[in-house]
Structure 1
Amino acid sequence: MNPADSSSPLRLLIHGASGRMGQSLLRLAAEQPDQFTVVGAVTGRPPPQRVVDGVPHFAAREMNGVPAFDVVIDFSLPEGFDSILSLCSQRGAALVSGTTGLSDAQRQTLDEASERIPLVWASNFSLGVAVLTELTERAAKALAQWDCDIIESHHTQKKDAPSGTALTLGQAASTAGVEVHYASLRAGDIVGEHTVQFAGLGERIELVHRATNRDIFARGALHAARRLAGKPPGSYRVRDLLD
């Protein structure tokens, strides 16, 4: 049976459960017991409690002992990525990952794993950003001779610039041969804003996405997990899993 079509809850394993995204995933999944059952939560360090709110917790070194699962949602660090990818491959389970900073070798391993399991890796799991990416690609193809600028704003603690999402949008625009220019702003507690601007003679188009709550990323990852479960092996994009 395709887990995505089953009436039973999807069995989730959360990897990187002690982080901000991991905590959001645990909270939001618990609010949808008809859709998700979290069978385990994995943290880098030994957990202070073995069971929290009914969810068994495991240290990373204990991962081989986790119960059966349908999908892993991984928001961790590059140091822990290889082991969770290997576990998914061994068990034939799907992987949803938002872990950033992967090396070229890890990305190669990810590509190879997609021949055995369904997986999606993204720098941003917002469903709105997925739609924005598709619109950017379509606009770039229609307006290949126009100037294209991507302006992104984030909180003052964000170090990388341009953001990973801005670069993903830029890649979408560049598929049509458009030359992309970037601008970055770091101010206050801005969660994330991205504007893709196409400017021609006498007219301009702006495509804008504003995030006001970080829960959108966890919700998007849960949506992707539900749609990814039961699909054939392959590397999917968030935009492939919107329907």
Structure 2
Amino acid sequence: MSRPLRLAVNGATGRMGRVLLELLRDDARFEVTSALTGLGMPQLGERAWHDRAAPCFQVEWPQDRPDVVIDFSGPGGLASALDYCTAHGTALVSGTTGIDAALKARVAQAASRIPLMHASNFSLGVAVLTRLLREAAAALPQWDLEIIEAHHQRKTDAPSGTALSLGEAAAAARNTTLAQDGVAGSREGPRRAGSIGFAVVRGGDIVGEHTAMLIGAGERVELAHRATDRSIFARGAIEAAHWLHDQPPGAYDLEALLAARLGA
């Protein structure tokens, strides 16, 4: 049996980081060697789990490089992870959202040097939804498309990164862009045929729901995904890390993982 993959978790004291650590604790495929957090976090120096073998929460990147890094931090944390991974040739899986154009460009540049998967949503179900939406949007190019997303009341970005990714996938399937055919919010006036709109719901403790409605004359197609447990995103990131570490440098997404599983 091959040795476990050495794994570092960046953003380890955040909501997703905590879920990742709990899932990884019992996953024999991995050995968590580093649990990184931000400077000034009260958990610094504590152990990730209540046992002596667990890594301590730390700020400094390890000297003994891991095989792969999973990052759920923030823009600053992602920038730091990019520096470390490109310097050491380490695969990087990142679910950090809310990044600006300059950081997006750095992500794209890093993919020429390391295996890298950056996604707004690591649900395998959402990956399937994206694949189905791409096919439906291409088959029904003149139908209107409305993407409705719902999240908890504490979420700050709107539309969600996942909703925008779905819209971008649909637009690309129609050989257009969101800049050309996207409609943000409840803009007044009639819409052009084939437009791609977004609607946002915020409230309570909704984990994440996304519905794509393709609307034609007298009929419509609805594709939906509803998350009820936040751990699905961590599970998807873990599966991505296990697959990604063995890939050559490049930019990957969950659909590439699905294709590999299907042998496509």
TM over 0.5: yes
Match of 1:240 among 256, 259, 262: 256
CA apart distance, 1:202: 2.0
Q: Does 1:221 align with 2:218?
A: no
Match of 1:25 in 2: 20
Q: Tell me the CA shift for residue 160 of structure 1.
A: 2.0
1:38 maps to 32
Displacement of 1:103: 2.3
Q: CA deviation at 1:127?
A: 0.6
5 Å-filtered alignment, 1:157-196, equals 157-175=154-172, 176=174, 177=176, 178-196=194-212
* Residues 1:239 and 1:157: Cα distance change in structure 2 (over 3 Å): same
Aligned runs of 1:191-202 on 2, under 5 Å?
Answer: 191-202=207-218
RMSD of equivalent CA atoms = 1.6
* TM-aligned CA deviation for residue 149 of structure 1: 0.7
How many pairs were matched up? 235
TM-score normalized with structure 1 length: 0.91
2:65 and 2:90 in contact (8 A); partners too? no
Q: Which runs of 5+ in 1 are unaligned?
A: 1-5
Question: Could you report, residue by residue, the CA deviation over 1:117-148 in whole angstroms, capped at 9, with x for unpaired residues?
Answer: 00010111111001111111110000001111
Q: Find the residue that maps to 2:55 and give its secondary structure.
A: strand
Cα offset for 1:98?
A: 0.9
TM-score normalised per structure 2: 0.84
Q: Which runs of 4+ in 1 moved over 6 A?
A: none
Offset from partner CA, 1:175-209 (integer Å, 9 cap, x none): 11442011111122111111101111222110010
| Residue 143 of structure 1, aligned match among 136, 140, 164 | 140
The answer to whether the 8 Å contact 2:46/2:57 transfers is no
Is the aligned partner of 1:95 residue 2:92? yes
Q: Identity, % of aligned pairs?
A: 53
Listed as ranges, the gaps of 5+ residues in structure 2 are: 177-193
Q: Which amino acid aligns with 2:113?
A: R
The one-letter code sitting in structure 1 at the alignment partner of 2:8 is L
Distance 2:82 2:121 in 1: 19
Q: Does structure 2 retain, via aligned residues, the 8 Å contact 1:13–1:40?
A: yes
Measured after TM superposition, the shift of residue 50 of structure 1 is 5.4
Instruction: Work out the CA distance in 2 between the residues paired with 1:31 and 1:116.
Output: 31
Contact 1:96–1:221 at 8 Å: present in 2 too?
A: yes
Distance in 2 (CA, whole Å) between partners of 1:204 and 1:26 is 42
Matched with 2:83 is 86
Shift of 1:166: 0.8
Aligned counterpart for 1:7 among listed residues 2, 9, 15: 2
Q: Corresponding residue for 1:126?
A: 123
SS in structure 1 at match of 2:211: strand
